[in-house]
Chains A and B, each alone.
Chain A
Amino acid sequence: MTRSSSYDYYVNLFLRNKRPFVLVALAVMTLGVILAYTLPKKYEAQSTVFLEQNVITDLVKGIAISPPVESKLKMLSVSLLSRSMILKVLNEMNKDLQLKNDMEMEEYLGDLTKRITISYMERQGVFRITLRDSDPRFASAFVNTLTRKYIDENTSSKREESLDATKFLAEQIETFKKRIDAADEAINRFKSEKGLILATDDVYLRGEIANAEKRLEDLTIKRNELEAKKRIYQERGPEPGRLAEAEARLAELLSRYTPENPKVAAAQAEVSRLRSGRGDAAKTRTASAIKDSLQMVQVEIDAVKEMEDRQKRIIENSKALLRDIPGVRASLAELVRKKDNEGVVYQQLVARYGQSEVSKQMELQDKSVTFRVLDPAVTPITPVFPNKLYVILGSVALGLGMGFGFIYLMDTLKGGIKSPAALKELDIPVFAVIPYVPDVLEEMNARRKDRIFLSFAAGFFLIIMLIATADALSLQDNVLRAGNAIKSKISHVVNN
C-alpha cells in the first residue's frame, strides 16, 4: 500500500466509523470527568524557611571553617525526614495515639515520609517543607510542628564536630612535636658520628690522593736508583765509574792507535790498575769505602721505603673517605627530610588548631547559619490533587487516541485488503478498480442520523470542555492568589 493510499484508507476508515470513534472517545472522556471528581482530594501545606548566612561567616573566612549551606541542607533534609524527628512531631500532635499497633505505625510513617517534600530555592535562599494529606488542617499543623521542632533541635543541640576536631588536633600536635624532637636528636647524633666525613671535601681528597700518588711514584724511582747503586757497589766497588771510563778510553784509543802507542799503553796500565787495585793498603781502603757507601745507600733506601708506605696509607685513607662520603651525606639528607616533613605537618596542625578554636567558638554560639521561618504553613483550602483540568484534558486526549485505536483495532481484527496494490502479491491481474458507489438515499439517511448523533456528541463534549474550563479558571484564580501571597512575603522580607 502506498503512503497516499494508506492515508486515504485511514481517512475513510475514520469517516466510516465516526460513531464507534465518538462513542469510545466520549466514554473515555466521561470516565475522565468522573475520575476527576471522585479521586480522593489531597491538600498541600507548605512552610517556607529562610536560611540566613551570618555576616560573621564572611568575616572569619580563612580563619574559621563553617560547614557550607549545601551540607547544612543535606543534613536538614536527612534529619527532617528521620524517623525520630517524625515520631517526635507525631507524638507532639498526639497522632500516634490514633495508631493501633507498631505495624500500623510503621506503615503510617513510611507513607508520611513519602508525602513530605523538602525543596531548596537557591535563588531565593529559602527551603520549603511540603506535606500532602487528605486532611488540610493536619497537613498545615504537621508542617509547622516539624519546622519548629527542627529549628529548636538545631539551635539547642551543639555540633560537637569542632570540639572533637580541636581535641584531635591538639593530640596530633603533641605527637608531631615529639617526632620532630626525635628527628633532631637523630640528626645531631649522626653528625657527631660522621663529622669528619661530612666536613671533608671530596675535591680536596681527590687532590690529596693525586699528590700522594705522585710522591709515591717519585719515591719509587728514587728507591730503584738507590737499589741499583747498591748493587753496583756490591759488584764493582766504589769506583766503577772510573774503571768504565778508563776502559772506554782504552777502547777509543785502540780504535785509533796500535797497542804499542804510549797513549794506549798508559790507558792499559790505568785499566789494569783500576781492575786490580794497587797493593793491600789500597785494597783495604777500598773495602771499607765500599762498606760505608753500601750502608749509606741502605739507609737512604730504608728512608725512601718508609716514605712510600706513608704515602700509600694516605692514599688508602683518602680513598676510603671518598667512598664513604655519599652514603653519609644521603643518610643525613634522609634524616633532615624526615624532620622537615614532620615540621610541615606540625606547622599545618598548629595553623588548623587555631582555625578549629575559632570554629568551635562559632559553633558554640551558633553564629554561622540561622533559620528564620519566613512563611508558616496555612491550612490549604483548594486541593492540589486531583488536578481536574489536567485529568479532564488528559481524558480528552486519551479518548481521542483510544477512539481511533478502537476503530483501527476493529479494522485490523476484521482483516481485509486495503488497496489494489496489495493484490500484486497474488500474480492475478486486477481487471478493474470499481469505486465505492453510495446509495444516495441511504447516504442521506445515514448523514441525517450522523448529524443528530454528532450534535449530541458535540453537546456532550462541550459540557466536558465547560467543566474543564471552569476548573482552569478556578486554578488560575488560585495561582494568582498564591502569586500575590508570595509577592507580599518577598516584599516584606526585602523591606525588613
Chain B
Amino acid sequence: MSRIEEALNKAIEINQVQQPRAARASAPPPNTEGDAVVVPNDHMLLTLTTPNSPAAEEYRKLKEAIIKETGREGFNNVLLVTSVNPGEGKTVTTLNLAVSLAHEFDYTVLLVDADLRAPACNKYLGIESEKGLSDCLENDTPCTDVLVRTGIGRLVLFPAGKPVANPVELISSSKMRNLITELKHRYPDRFILIDSPPAKFFAETRFLASMADASVMVVREGESSLDEIAETAAALDNRVIGIVYNGARENPFSKASQYHYYAYSQPEEAGQ
C-alpha cells in the first residue's frame, strides 16, 4: 500500500470517527483508477453533499462561465482563485468549482493549494498530506510524489505541504513558474485551479496571477469595498475574468427564498 493510500485510509477513519453530517450519502462513486475514496465531511462542499441545492446550482453556473471564458481563445487551463481579504470563501469556492468540473466527463481537474500560509484544501477534503507544493519548491520533490487523487470524479489535489517561512520567495521563484508551466503542458486537457492567499495582504498572489491564464475573484457580501475590489483587480493586471459573489443573504421572511423548496424536492439529501 502506497503512502497516499495509507493517508487516505486514515482520513476515512478520521471522518468516520467525526460523524459526518449530511455529506456522506452524496459521496462520489469510487474512482476507476483504484485509489482510496475520499469522503469529505465538510458541509461547505455543497456540489458534493447537496448537488441540488441553490448554492450547488450557482457553482454549476460558475463552472459554465469558466468553461465559456477559458475556451474562447484556445484552452487556457490555469485559473487562479483569489479574494481581496481573508475569509471571503476562495478555498471553498475553488473546491466546489473543482468538484463541479471534476464531475464533467470532458475535464480532469488539478487543484493546486498555493496558500502556503494557511493551506486548507486538504482539510476540507479530509486528507492528511505530509508533502506538497512547498516540498516540490524547496526540496525538488517530484510533483508526481505529492499529487493526491481525491476519488471525486477526476479531481487531483496538489497539497500545499508543510508550512514554510518564506512563501513569497518560493512562489515568486522560477521553480514555481517552471512547475506551473510543466503542469500546464504535461496535462493539457486539465483544468488547473490555484487556490491563493488573499491578494490585498500578500505579494505571492500577484506572482501567481502573472503565471495563471486568468483569475477569478471571490467577494463576500459586506466584507470588501468596491474600491478594494477595483484596486485588487488592477493589482492583478486586470486579468480578473469574473467575480463570485459569496455569502448572499436572503431575507428569511421573503417568499423568494427557495432553499426549502429545493430541500423538499430532494428528500434523500435532506433526510440523510
Contacts and interface: CB of A to CB of B under 8 A. Distances in A.
A431 to B, nearest CB: 4
Nearest to B60: A432
Interface stretch (B119-127, B156-164, B200-208, B241-249): B241-249
Contacts, number: 115
Contacts of A422: 226
Given A8-B254, A429-B65, A429-B243, A437 B44 contact: yes
B62 interface: yes
B59 interface: yes
A432 B59 contact: yes
A411 B221 CA distance: 11
B contact residues, range: 35 or more
A479 to B, nearest CB: 41
Contact of B216 (A12, A431, A436, A437): A431
A416 interface: yes
A415 interface: yes
Nearest 9 A-B pairs (CB), nearest first?
A: A8-B251, A432-B62, A416-B222, A431-B65, A431-B242, A415-B225, A12-B249, A432-B58, A420-B245
B212 to A, nearest CB: 16
A235 interface: no
B89, B228, B249, B250: most-surrounded residue (chain A CB, <10 A): B249
19 contacts: A7-B251, A416-B222, A420-B248, A423-B219, A423-B226, A423-B245, A426-B243, A428-B217, A428-B233, A430-B242, A431-B216, A431-B244, A432-B244, A434-B246, A435-B247, A435-B248, A435-B259, A436-B247, A439-B43
B74 interface: no
A111 interface: no
Given A428-B240, A428-B243, 14 more contacts: A8-B251, A8-B254, A11-B252, A11-B253, A12-B250, A414-B222, A416-B223, A417-B226, A426-B229, A430-B243, A432-B245, A434-B59, A434-B244, A435-B259
Nearest to A11: B251
Contacts of B28: none
Interface in B28-70: 43-44, 46, 54-55, 58-59, 61-62, 65-66
A437 B55 contact: yes
A12 B244 CA distance: 20
A9 interface: yes
Nearest to B53: A437
B172 interface: no
A418 interface: yes
B21 interface: yes
Contacts of A16: 249
A433 interface: yes
Contacts of B247: 434-436
Contacts of B249: 8-9, 12, 16, 435-436
B251 A417 contact: no
Given A411-B222, A428-B240, A434 B233 contact: no
A439 B244 CA distance: 20
B230 interface: yes
B46 A437 contact: yes
B62 to A, nearest CB: 4
A432 B230 contact: no
A422 B222 CA distance: 11
Given A423-B219, A435-B58, A435-B248, A417 B225 contact: yes
Contacts of B54: 435
B55 A417 contact: no
A4 to B, nearest CB: 8
Contact of B221 (A416, A426, A431, A440): A416
Contacts of A494: none
A320 interface: no
B76 interface: no
Given A429-B65, A429-B242, A430-B245, A417 B229 contact: yes
